[in-house]
Structures are given as structure tokens and as C-alpha cells.
Amino acid sequence: MKSSGDLIASISTDLADNNAGLISAEDIRHNMEDLAYSINRIVASGDTDGEFRFYNNVRVAATGIGAGGAEGKLVMESGIIFPNAPDGKTTLVQVVPYPGEGGIIHDNLIIDQTSHPHTQYYHKTGVNQADNVLTGNVPVGHANWINASGYSDVGFKFVPVQDTLQEIYTSGTLRFGDGSSIPNGKGLAKAWCNFNASGDATDNLPSIRSYHNISGITRLAPGKLKITFNSGVFDNNNYVALATSHGTVATGSKEDMTVNTVGLVLRQGNNGPDDTDNPRTVTYVIRTETGDYADAEICDFVAFGAEPDETLGDVPFKLMDPSYSENA
């Protein structure tokens, strides 16, 4: 077997450019034999890497599929090099077959840990969080829950209520770093306010300083006011209400108070979840030791209760003490 250069030299020597009878059948035969013997070597030797490259697609027919697929394959014993690879990776040799999209084990990939090349995924190790942050909104399906293990109906989810407004549902207890926790919203005040019942000297309207879920306060008479709740705060009128007052219009010193009692009476409004047309109200009255109704500059009010559709859990038990007596 000869190289392409040796074949060309032999042909030039043995096969002259004239018909002087100097070319024998042997000359033709042995050059053709050399050519036949040398073709595979020339192709396989690497000569095609330089002067005799393949310029068109190389197709290997799948003629052996019916016989077990033993034919029609490119067998790469030493690997594959991509000389036009991006990022300058032109000398890397691939020696492992591509396993397909479903066969890549990402934990086995060699990744630059100073960056996050797969920005479409969350980085489970949290590496380089300062630079690897979400830069856009994260939409979550309305029926999907977010939690530690992908369970159904556990964790929290976002539920649209009107236009872009959403409620955040949670199935568990909120626990804080100091060890405190909130298992539900029953312990939170649903409505509260601080106000000056005497108002100002111009119109004597009450001055509301701070408030939550309070629609308004109406002055009925000196020492008598009606507090109106926002619609939808309570499920009914059986809420727990507490109130205090210092019983005087003076606030100049620490002794400025008058012994008094605040009564929360006459709960009105639609006794049901629909209180839009007939809002809930409670009358706030301040009564001194002498029995008179009096205004006060410092008045506090707070109310706890069940919201519409809120459940209260097990009903507390009721017992009569064994030692109970009507005559005790």
C-alpha cells in the first residue's frame, strides 16, 4: 500500500505521455493494484484532514437495521473533535456518547460554581445568591400550593378575589424566629380605633386618630357615640368588644381621669354575613360615677370575632359544678 504521493509518482513514471509502446500491461496492472490496495489506507490515514477533505455530507446507510443494526454506523474509537466549537473549545475531545435529553444527570455536570449557567432553573445549593436572583414576577397556578415537598393542599397559595387582588391561603402555623407562632387569625383584632369623643369646639364631631375596619363614628349625644364597622368584617353580631375611656376632656397631666364605665350596647345591623345594605354598629357610652354621660378625649375600642365563612372549631363544654347551690 502506498500513500497518495507515492501513487502519483509511480503513475507518472510507469505511464508515459506518449504511445511509443513503452507502457506494458504490467505497468497498468500493478499501478491499478496499488491504487485499489491503497484507497482504504489513504482515506483512513488522515490524509483527508489536509488536502483531500470531505466537502459534502457523509451519509452512512442504515442497511443493517433489519439484521440487528450491526452495520451503517460511525464507530469512533478515539473520540470526536469539533474544530469550530464556540467559546474556543476547539480541542476538547468527546469520548462519551450523548445520552439524550432524558438521560443527562445534571448533578454529574461540571459547572462553574461562581456563576449560574442554567438561569431557567432554581439553584438548589443557593450558590452566589447575590447575583443569582429572580428578575421578574413568578406566576403560580391558582390551584397550586407552594411548600417544602410538593404535597397537595399544604403550604400556601394565591387565590384571585377581584381583578388583580389576591388572597394568600395558608394551611399551617406561622412561626417566627423568637419561637412565637400564629396558628390562625382568630386571635387578631378585626376592628379597633382610638378617638376623641368631645371633638373640637367648632362642631363637636368626634376626632378619629387611628382605626382599622371602622367605617365611621356618629355622635349621638354627649358621652354617647355609634361606631360603624366596614362591611364584611364579622359573620354576625356576636363579636367580643372591649373599650376604655379616661372619662374627661382634660389631658394635661397624669392625674387627668375620672372614674367611669364604658358600655358597649345596642348592637345593630344585619345579623348575618350580608351587611352591605345594613352595616353593623355598636353604641359606645361613657358614664361617670355620678350616673351622668360624659365626653372624653381619650377613647379606645377593640373588637374580636368570626369573619364570614370562618369556622370556630369545637364548641366549649358547659358544666354545672357539683357544689353549686342557688342558696350559696
List Cβ neighbours of 198 (8 Å cut-off, separation of 6 or more): 204, 206, 249, 295, 296, 297
Confidence at residue 326, expressed as pLDDT on a 0 to 100 scale: 87
Give rounded-to-5 percent helix, strand, coil for the chain: 15, 25, 60
- Give residue 96's pLDDT: 85
How high is the pLDDT of residue 49?
62
Residue spans of beta strands (DSSP E) within the chain: 80-81, 93-94, 156-162, 165-170, 174-175, 181-182, 191-196, 207-212, 214-221, 224-229, 240-245, 260-268, 281-288, 299-304
Residue 248: the pLDDT is 80
pTM value is: 0.61
Region of 306 on the Ramachandran plot (φ > 0 left; ψ -120 to 50 alpha; else beta): beta
Q: What is the pLDDT of residue 130?
A: 62
Q: What is the pLDDT of residue 51?
A: 66
Sorted by sequence, the CB contacts under 8 Å of residue 217 that are 6+ apart come out as 193, 195, 206, 208, 225, 226, 227, 228, 284
Q: What is the pLDDT of residue 69?
A: 55
**227 close to 214: Cβ distance less than 8 angstroms:** yes
- Tens-digit pLDDT profile for the chain (328 aa)? 677 778 778 877 777 766 666 777 777 787 788 888 777 777 666 555 666 677 788 777 776 555 555 567 788 888 998 888 888 888 889 888 887 777 777 667 666 656 666 666 666 666 555 666 777 788 888 889 998 888 889 999 999 988 889 999 998 899 999 999 998 888 899 999 999 998 766 678 899 999 999 999 999 999 999 999 999 999 999 999 999 998 787 766 777 778 899 999 999 987 555 667 789 999 999 999 999 999 898 999 999 999 988 998 899 999 999 999 888 6
* Sign of the alpha-carbon dihedral angle for 217, 221, 222, 225: negative
CA distances from 248 to 5, 176, 188, 251, 257 (A): 119, 41, 30, 8, 6
User: What pLDDT does 280 receive?
Assistant: 93
